[in-house]
Amino acid sequence: MNLVIEELKNLDAENITIADDDFLVNENRLKEFIRLVRENNIKKTYVCYGRADFIANHPEIIKELADIGFKYFLVGLEAINDEELNDYNKGTSKEHNVEAIKVINSTSAQCIGLMIVGLSATKKDFDDLYNWIVKHELIHVTISIFTPIPGTPLYEEYKDKLITDKIENWDFLHLVVEPENISRHKFYLYYRRLILKLYKRAKKAGVYEYLDLEHYKKMLSRFLLRKAYLDR
């Protein structure tokens, strides 16, 4: 831990991203980190990843982290119901997701919710996801398309159903497996609409003030419609 603190003290940077997915795991280690940051009067802004269940179960630690400069917590919420969360083997629940957002929103920090649209999604599912985001006061959200990653059990499950072999399509913005309940074209249209609604809402809240929504709308439309018709 002392080596970490020394590195933070000597880093010529005000904004620090902690890329370790397991940073928010060990309660005692985090308390020691917080103590040492305060003792050494380190004034920086931090971004880190965290699991919803840990955040939900440790509100006091999240508040202390926010107090020493943690500004954004990237949380893999993934889904808004337990069925999908179980399919992803998350080991968390929808209650954890809701509580994690509440905990972060009660501090000076902000939650960046990382969500996934599943292959079984219908128009209603896209609408329900947007309404859930609004209800739970999430402003910063990323929406990925379900993508089985090579080397994982999910990939083995879906490898015979792949609709593309282009490695560049494994960026969580493309369908690499055919949707189950709607056409590829409709999936991309609903996805486009959801993304634009979220950007518009975030901009209204003061995020993405620099973004020209009309230009982004046209760019996103061209991109997604091309993927819907041309990707094979």
- What strands, in cross-sheet order, belong to the sheet with 110-117? 15-18, 45-50, 70-78, 110-117, 140-145
Q: Is the pLDDT of residue 181 over 90?
A: yes
Distance (Å, rounded) from C-alpha 19 to C-alpha 138?
Answer: 22
Q: Is the pLDDT of residue 21 over 90?
A: no
For residue 162, what is the DSSP state? B
Residues in CB range of 151: below 8 A, 6 or more apart: none
Q: Hey, is 177 helix, strand or coil?
A: strand
Q: Is the pLDDT of residue 158 over 90?
A: yes
Residue range 118-147, pLDDT digits in tens: 999 999 999 999 999 999 999 999 999 999
The pLDDT confidence band at residue 229, using thresholds 50, 70 and 90, is low
- Give the angle subtended at the CA of 208 by the CAs of 202 and 212, to the nearest 5°: 110
Please give the model's pTM, rounded to 2 decimal places: 0.88
Dihedral of CA 124/158/227/144: which sign? positive
How confident is the model at residue 116, as a pLDDT? 96
CATH topology of domain 2-230: Transcription Regulator spoIIAA (3.30.750)
Q: In the chain, what are the domain boundaries?
A: 2-230
